[in-house]
Amino acid sequence: MRAFNAELSKLFSLPGIWLAFLIGTFAPPAIAALDSMAEKKDIIAGVSTRLSEVGFIGLALGVQGIIILGVLAVSSEYLTESSESGGGNQITTSLTAVSSRLHFLLAKAGAVTVISILLSIVAILTTVSVTNLILGEYAPVFETSKLIGVVCYWTFTALLAFGITILTKNGIIPLAVLIINSSVVTVSYLLTKVTKLAFYLPDLAGSDMFISDGFHTPFTGSLIMFAWVAVLLIVAGIVFHRRDVAS
């Protein structure tokens, strides 16, 4: 528990974490607002075909903040400290305080999970409020099961970013890859035009937990994304355990 509290404290001390919170809180409702205004015009014109997805689109595309959270949790450990502190890496200090690498990773992953859940709940509240405000009587019903799917999607996405950053020891690569792939036209979606296997990629499978008419059922999509996260974290844990931290 002490290690978990320490990891929470470290995360909240990072300047970049506030950018993650800002994006995670405001990007989803901003996207949902634009989508709701466009959908309202379609409803009035009698050509609406995707009312059930309004709001959820913003929650699917607005995960950049949670990606930043997962990446920062690890990449901050490899930043070089000031010369007054010896010029080393934070990771060396962290592993001195927590002798077990497994406990260290579990505490850090736990901190990322808790913050991800809280941030996703805030994003859901702001997105649902904006959507209801704009659409008024036309607003869709936000099913509880789908909202739980959003929480799982955000949490799993943060842990994917977390695991990839452990493997790379660098925040630039996972940030670039994951943020680009969470844009309006994702690489994963483009791959579905080439092969149906792309629907088994974590982001597409995970979005089926709350997007209607997905390739998978919500339950199957959750299992697939969970499997990706579990395998990635196991591999990352093994690599981290065997890696020379000073390298």
Say what the pLDDT of residue 66 is: 94
Say what the pLDDT of residue 116 is: 96
In a domain, 176, yes or no: yes
Q: What is the pLDDT of residues 45-66, one digit of tens each?
A: 877 777 778 888 889 888 999 9
Q: What is the pLDDT of residues 203-212, one digit of tens each?
A: 999 999 998 7
Residues forming beta bridges with residue 80, ordered by sequence position? 89
Considering its fold, how many domains does the chain have in total?
Answer: 1
Q: What is the pLDDT of residues 123-135, one digit of tens each?
A: 999 999 999 999 8
Distances, alpha carbon 174 to alpha carbons 32, 64, 69, 134, 178, in Å: 26, 11, 12, 35, 6
Indicate the SS3 state at residue 96.
helix
Indicate the SS3 state at residue 143.
coil
Q: What is the mean pLDDT of residues 219-241?
A: 94
What range does the domain containing 104 cover?
A: 2-242
In a domain, 247, yes or no: no
Q: Would you say residue 6 has pLDDT above 90?
A: no
Q: Are 67 and 182 in contact (CB under 8 A)?
A: yes
Q: What's 80's DSSP letter?
A: B
In a domain, 55, yes or no: yes
Distances, alpha carbon 215 to alpha carbons 61, 69, 138, 227, in Å: 18, 29, 27, 17
Q: Would you say residue 157 has pLDDT above 80?
A: yes
In a domain, 145, yes or no: yes
In a domain, 189, yes or no: yes
Strand ranges (E), the chain: none
Q: What is the pLDDT of residues 109-152, one digit of tens each?
A: 999 999 999 999 999 999 999 999 998 888 888 889 999 999 99
Q: What percent of the chain has pLDDT over 70?
A: 94
Q: How far apart are CA 20 and CA 82, in angstroms?
A: 24
Kindly report the backbone phi and psi dihedral angles of residue 209, in degrees, each rounded to the nearest multiple of 5, phi listed first: -70, -20
In a domain, 186, yes or no: yes
In a domain, 175, yes or no: yes
Q: Are 224 and 205 in contact (CB under 8 A)?
A: yes
